Structure 1
């Protein structure tokens, strides 16, 4: 693929987690989170984006979110479970994206707040329609996702390099 072709990054926050007596990394999804993860998966599938790669945090709630969401996809993308996504800052997430192989055109990153929301804000140098306004108003609740596009290779992902083209949250 040519680096001049548009690429997409979809930032997907895990669904609502439960608060049992376990470490934060091991927190499972709550019942509502399981429902929202599947619904978000349908919404992600409805975008028509053919994902080449999913980068998922190793935390239990992100793995469970991904497992429920991906069942809604026609084709399952290659999945890499990456511990650096857990509790990552926007800068750390950019570093993970910079290591993405250039043959991947569309990447889904499943992670946590505040990093996912911060990354959406940092990357979005431009925005279409009302996506930025809705994201600013709603924040980045559990099971929300943002779709960003950029042109270039993955090493060129940096602040302001992308356009926010869509935003979705479960209660919208």
Structure 2
């Protein structure tokens, strides 16, 4: 929601990430925004116990390529979750709609295909200011939220798949 601080949560309700391994795929497009999202996600994982050596990062050209990058990480590493971070800002053409739809469907498909969670950390905003507000600005950082979601989903996966 536009009024929610994405970085506001109760740390006591977040499981330890000390034994978890994560992949983070980051779009190079809109680097000021995606860099802030990445920093938020990485720092939040470490804050909750993830070892830096257990966090694999891949940069991809744009948000549309997040799905392919996430699949590569899932196929070639032993991660427990993959966080996908990107930013698509509305422009004057329907390109925004195609990219948003493609990356959303792609990440959803990965969640149905693999036995690990793929986290949607993609900003889909109407303008640059909305993106800045959600990448460390007045609405917090969607990267933080994506990391917390990843930790909780790995914990769920471990508990329910035993």
TM-score range with shorter-chain normalisation? 0.3 to 0.5
| TM-score normalised by L of structure 2 | 0.40
Instruction: Return the structure number with greater helix share.
Output: 2
